[in-house]
């Protein structure tokens, strides 16, 4: 039994990595449909108007709040991203929890961002307003 588990472990590890790759690709497609018009193809947003996602300190410091912004439609109030103030409201995108997870995985692994964390549909589902 132990031998079987040890033999299957590399397949499970590959499966998780493959799942993240699929999620990132799905997220790229969704980003191009929903996010690109404001946050731009390079993820840099518009200084003082639309916060950057590329190399965003806010994204990592406030991960849950960032996911809720996608799920519930924006962040209320002023935020500081990379030392710049933003106070605009993002519209609700109408994305499903699995799509939100995919977009977050894409953002967390694009434009110089790198995360070993994989956002899952189950995690997004548990977040409340």
Report the domain count for the chain.
1
The enclosing domain of 118 has a CATH number of: 1.10.760.10
Reported as a single tens digit per residue, the pLDDT across 52-79 is: 999 999 999 999 999 999 999 888 889 9
* CA distances, 60 to each of 9, 30, 122 (Å): 30, 21, 20
Prediction pTM value: 0.85
Reported as a single tens digit per residue, the pLDDT across 73-105 is: 888 889 999 999 999 888 888 999 999 999 999
Lookup result for tokens 């018009």:
37
> What range defines the domain where residue 31 resides?
18-126
């Amino acid at each position: 039994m132990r031998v079987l588990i040890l033999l299957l472990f590399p397949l499970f590890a590959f499966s998780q990595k493959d799942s993240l790759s699929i999620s990132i690709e799905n997220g790229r497609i969704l980003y191009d449909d929903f996010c690109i018009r404001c946050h731009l193809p390079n993820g840099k947003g518009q200084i003082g108007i639309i916060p950057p996602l590329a190399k965003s300190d806010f994204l990592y410091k406030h991960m849950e709040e960032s996911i809720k912004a996608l799920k519930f439609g924006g962040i209320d109030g002023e935020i500081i991203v990379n030392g710049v103030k933003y106070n605009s409201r993002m519209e609700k995108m109408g994305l499903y929890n699995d799509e939100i997870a995919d977009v977050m995985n894409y953002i967390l692994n694009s434009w110089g961002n790198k995360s070993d964390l994989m956002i899952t549909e189950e995690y997004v589902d548990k977040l409340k307003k």
